[in-house]
Amino acid sequence: MTAVARGQVAALARGMRELVRAEAAEAERIRTLTPAVVDEMWTTGLLSAFNPVAAGGVEPSFAEMIETWVEMAWQDGSFGWVGIANLPSSFAAAAYLPDDGFAEVFTAHENRVTLGGQYFPNGQGAAVDGGYRLSGSWSFGSGIGHSQYIAAGFFPMDNGEMRWVAEGIPDMQVAVLPRDEVSVNDGWYVQGLKGTGSYDYRIDDVFVPQHRTFALFRRDPYRGSSPATRMGLMPVTAAGHASWALGVAKSMLDDVTELAATKYRMSDMAALASRPTFQKGLAHHVAAWRAARLLVLDAFGTAESAVAAGDELTPGLRADMRVAAVYATDTARSCAEWAHLVAGTSAIREGSRFERAFRDMYTGTQHAFISEKVAIDAAQIWLGIIDDQFGL
């Protein structure tokens, strides 16, 4: 595995363009990333680059994480989605697992650990001596097609009663399990993001030691010194979703710009690029994309700077980041719609990069993490209707 320097992570992703393009169709066919792509991610160090230094990473800034994710999604939606699934998953486990858990999961495997899964608490963990007896079913475990460990969100239960950390706020934990303790259901037959290996899975009364669990909203790292480790998994995940949508949309805007020079529509003797309506539409959507990107960089950069200075990660800062992710996603989807429409029949050929990106966009933007509920929660904080929403 190549040693990675901070500031070079996005370059590692850019170096994979040719391979990812060549493997994209095969990843869709087998419904998970190909071994060639996964191996190259390990060879370059990309798969562990977001980790704390103790787990083989470089703890990049939010700006570098965003640049990396945009690049990965620009290359291919599935490749980008795995980037926003596996990289934050290993980042969180490496930062927040207690020492014994870190040693068992990371140190024992020389930090070559791929982790994916579903963090929403769809399971229940009955508290027992030393840990939990975990059961539950999880859907869309992104990136687990090639993961050695699987994360599973759950509610701790004490004698059959839910555990609460504050009034109205239940305790929510994440368990990290070896793959052979999880029953994986390969039901990943979907419209888009076909190459992500986002399988459903089930866990039936499996003991998970306390040291292989961490709180879902933890912001106090055991290891790592970057502001991101003190901001928690939610902001990192939000930055990932925003970046992914921007990357896929950029691929479609770039591709339709290239196509426009040679694209002629039936009964129209002028190339697409010479049509004023296309020119106006391109200007509008490229400007909208750039504005959304700048909003994302500003929102996450402002929060990162505050935490780096020792300030509190306030509900307002968290709301700003989540709204930026929702807005970027909405803007990216609008750009994709326009690019698909003006590309005409060039956009509908099955298996083309353009057609795949369009399917991926409309699959990825269905995710609840960037839903209108998130924007509503954030607006209520801005309006003073509520003081906080713990899920932001």
The CA distance from 186 to 38, in Å, is 19
Output the six-digit token pair for 308.
């780096």
pLDDT digits (tens, 9 = 90+) for 196-242: 999 999 999 999 999 999 999 999 999 999 999 999 999 999 999 99
Token output for 331: 């803007």
Under the banding of pLDDT at 50, 70 and 90, the label for residue 347 is confident
355 pLDDT above the threshold of 80: yes
| Rounded distance between C-alpha atoms, residue 225 and residue 314, angstroms | 19
The domain 232-383 is classified under which CATH number: 1.20.140.10, 3.90.1570.10, 3.20.20.30, 2.130.10.30?
Answer: 1.20.140.10
**pLDDT higher than threshold 70 for residue 392:** yes
DSSP 271: B
Q: What does the block give as tokens for 388?
A: 């906080």
Arithmetic mean of pLDDT over the chain? 95
Indicate the range of 6-15, 106-115, 193-202 predicted with least confidence.
Answer: 6-15
Q: Bridge partners of 133? A: 126, 207
Q: Across residues 135-156, what is the average pLDDT?
A: 96
Given the structure tokens 């230094």, which residue do they identify?
53
Asked if 201 and 144 count as a contact pair (C-beta separation under 8 A), the reply is yes
> Does domain 117-215 fall into CATH 3.30.470.20?
no
Q: For 263, which DSSP code?
A: -
* Greatest mean pLDDT range, 288-302, 340-354, 366-380: 288-302
Give 368's contacts (C-beta < 8 A, 6+ positions apart). Answer: none
For residues 40-56, give the mean pLDDT.
97
User: What pLDDT, on the 0 to 100 scale, is given for residue 49?
Assistant: 97
- Does residue 118 contact residue 153 with C-beta atoms inside 8 Å? yes
Half-sphere exposure for 260 (CA within 13 Å, toward CB)? 20
Fold of 8-96: Butyryl-Coa Dehydrogenase, subunit A; domain 1 (1.10.540)
Residue 263 has a pLDDT of 64
| Across 73-77, 112-116, 266-270, 349-353, least confident range | 266-270
Tokens, residue 216: 């879902």
Q: Which helix (DSSP H) or strand (DSSP E) does residue 119 occupy?
A: strand 115-128
Q: Give CA–CA dist 114/42, Å, rounded.
A: 10
Q: What does the pLDDT average to over 311-320? A: 97
- Averaged over 308-333, what is the pLDDT? 97
pLDDT reading at 2 higher than 80: no
Please determine, for residue 3, whether its predicted confidence score (pLDDT) is greater than 80: no
Measured CA angle at 189 (ends 183, 191), to 5 deg: 140
CB atoms within 10 A of CB 323: 22
Task: Tell me which residue of 38, 221, 28, 58 sits closest to 114, measured CA to CA.
Answer: 38
* pLDDT single digits (tens) 251-298: 999 999 998 888 666 566 678 888 899 999 999 999 999 999 999 999
How confident is the model at residue 203, as a pLDDT?
A: 98
- Look up tokens 């939010």; give the residue: 62
Question: Strand pairing of 149-158 and 115-128?
Answer: parallel
Predicted confidence at residue 186, as pLDDT, reads 83
Residue 310 clears pLDDT 70, i.e. is over it: yes
Residue 267 backbone dihedrals phi, psi, to 5 degrees: 70, 15
| pLDDT tens string 61-95 | 999 999 999 999 999 999 999 999 999 999 999 99
Contact indicator for 135, 123 with CB cutoff of 8 Å: yes
| C-beta of residue 369 within 8 angstroms of C-beta of residue 282 | no
Q: Map out the domains of the chain as residue ranges.
A: 8-96, 117-215, 232-383
Question: Does residue 113 carry a pLDDT above 70?
Answer: yes
- Confidence category of residue 1, pLDDT binned at 50, 70, 90: low
Which residue from 342, 308, 346, 302 is spatially nearest to 323, judged by alpha carbons?
Answer: 302
Lowest average pLDDT, out of 25-29, 196-200, 369-373, goes to: 369-373
Question: Which one-letter amino acid corresponds to residue 152?
Answer: A
Residue 350 has a CB neighbour count (10 Å cut-off) of 7
Question: Under 8 Å CB-to-CB from 183, ≥6 apart: which residues?
Answer: 201, 202, 203, 204
